[in-house]
Amino acid sequence: MSFLSRLLGRGQDPRDELRALWHGTVATSREPEWYADCGVADTVQGRFDMIALVMSLVMLRMENSPTLAPKTALLTELFVADMDRQLRDTGVGDLMVGKNMGKLVASLGGRLGALREAFGDSDAALALILQRNVTLVDEDKKPFALAVRVRALHNSLSAVDDASLLEGVLRHG
């Protein structure tokens, strides 16, 4: 959809189909267990890390679906729009938003790449990857708990059908 079409209100935004999935992704990243049980820092950086982590898991799931794989870019656009708004709401000036957005998107891409390779490894290996990519309160004890929970979400996402995923359901059952 072109900018002009959106401005004039013509046509539906193709991202609309993915909004429930985006909201489900954000809701999952805010679950208290990530912070209380898995030791993710309950800070701006820790919360971003969790959004990027859950978003990466969702995108990995989408890549395994011929129907959803082409829509990962649209979900990424929702991520970018939300992060842009969040930066502006926290007082980041227009001149710095672009630079910060570049870093955030690069961070998402890095996590996606690291996780893509990690699920064939043990929970201990996954914990090391997560320790490098997630801001933790206690880096000595919690990465393994985080790895177990991340693997469980990854497995659950694999069992969710495409239609339910689009509705924002990230866990099977």
Q: How confident is the model at residue 109 (pLDDT cuts 50, 70, 90)?
A: confident
Predicted local distance difference test score (pLDDT) of residue 91: 67
Is the Cβ–Cβ distance between 148 and 123 less than 8 Å? yes
CA distances from 51 to 47, 119, 159 (A): 6, 19, 21
**Residues pairing with 44 in the sheet:** none
Q: Which of 168, 173, 172 is nearest to 28 (CA)?
A: 168
CA distance 9 to 11: 7
Residue corresponding to tokens 């991520």: 79
Q: What is the pLDDT of residue 156?
A: 97
Long-range contacts of 66-72 (CB under 8 A, 24+ apart): 67/162, 68/162, 68/165, 68/166, 71/17, 71/18
Render pLDDT for 6-40 as a digit per residue (tens, 0 to 9). 566 667 899 999 999 999 999 999 999 999 999 99
Q: Which range has the worst mean pLDDT, 57-66, 79-88, 119-128?
A: 79-88
Collapse the DSSP code of 107 into the 3-class scheme (helix H, G, I; strand E, B; otherwise coil) and give the result. Answer: helix
Task: Identify the pLDDT of residue 80.
Answer: 83
User: Which of 42-51, 54-63, 132-141 bottoms out in mean pLDDT, i.e. has the lowest?
Assistant: 132-141
- Give, in order, the Cα–Cα distances in Å from 59 to each of 43, 75, 89, 92, 142: 24, 8, 26, 28, 25
pTM for this model (two decimals):
0.85
How many other C-beta atoms can be found within 10 angstroms of the C-beta atom of residue 124? 10
Q: How far apart are CA 22 and CA 39, in angstroms?
A: 24
Give residue 99's pLDDT band: very low, low, confident or very high (50, 70, 90).
low
At residue 120, the pLDDT reads: 78
